[in-house]
Amino acid sequence: MEQWDTKEKIAAARERMEESHHDWRRPAAYGVGVYREGTTEFTRVNQNGNYLPAVVLARVTGHTRGTYSHPMSVGQLEAAVGELSPAEACTELAHPNLHHWREVLADVRENGGQIVAVFVGGLADPPADEHDSALRAALR
């Protein structure tokens, strides 16, 4: 399995993924949350950065650009974890999104709920739905 053990290798992997994901545009914000009992909770959100996890999520969900929420299966988030895990070889970075995704998987397996990935194309865009509104509230 390929390992990205330097920041340069991580950047190169991100560039390859971005170039190969047709019509991809980096989001202003994104995150993975859990919808349960009428509420979507985001315990980690990203704004203006961390684009390798963003493009990994986009590839798994089929997202390309704009503001949109994507329900995800456990299998899809597992695939995203697998696609991002070569970055762990770089010990210079903490990999918070990868750790968060694993926590989300454990939580949903134990407590149920719907995993949702939200991408915000531009912060001036109107919220796409209640999941998007929850992500924006977490940004504050």
The answer to whether position 51 is within a domain reads yes
Q: Are 43 and 1 in contact (CB under 8 A)?
A: no
Alpha-carbon distance 134 to 111, whole Å? 20
Residue 1, pLDDT > 90, answer no
The answer to whether position 53 is within a domain reads yes
The answer to whether position 1 is within a domain reads no
The answer to whether position 41 is within a domain reads yes
Alpha-carbon distance 19 to 117, whole Å? 21
pLDDT in tens, 122-139: 999 999 999 999 999 999
pLDDT in tens, 72-103: 999 999 999 999 999 999 999 999 999 999 99
Number of domains composing the chain: 1
Q: What is the pLDDT of residue 88?
A: 96
pLDDT (mean) for 40-44: 96
Q: What is the pLDDT of residue 86?
A: 97
User: Which residue range is the domain that position 66 belongs to?
Assistant: 7-139
Q: What is the pLDDT of residue 2?
A: 86
Chain CA centroid to CA 41, Å: 14
| CATH number of the domain bearing residue 122 | 3.30.70.2010
Query: What is the model's pTM?
Result: 0.95
Contacts for 115 with CB less than 8 Å, ≥ 6 apart: 32, 33, 34, 35, 71, 72, 73, 74, 76, 77, 104, 108
The answer to whether position 69 is within a domain reads yes
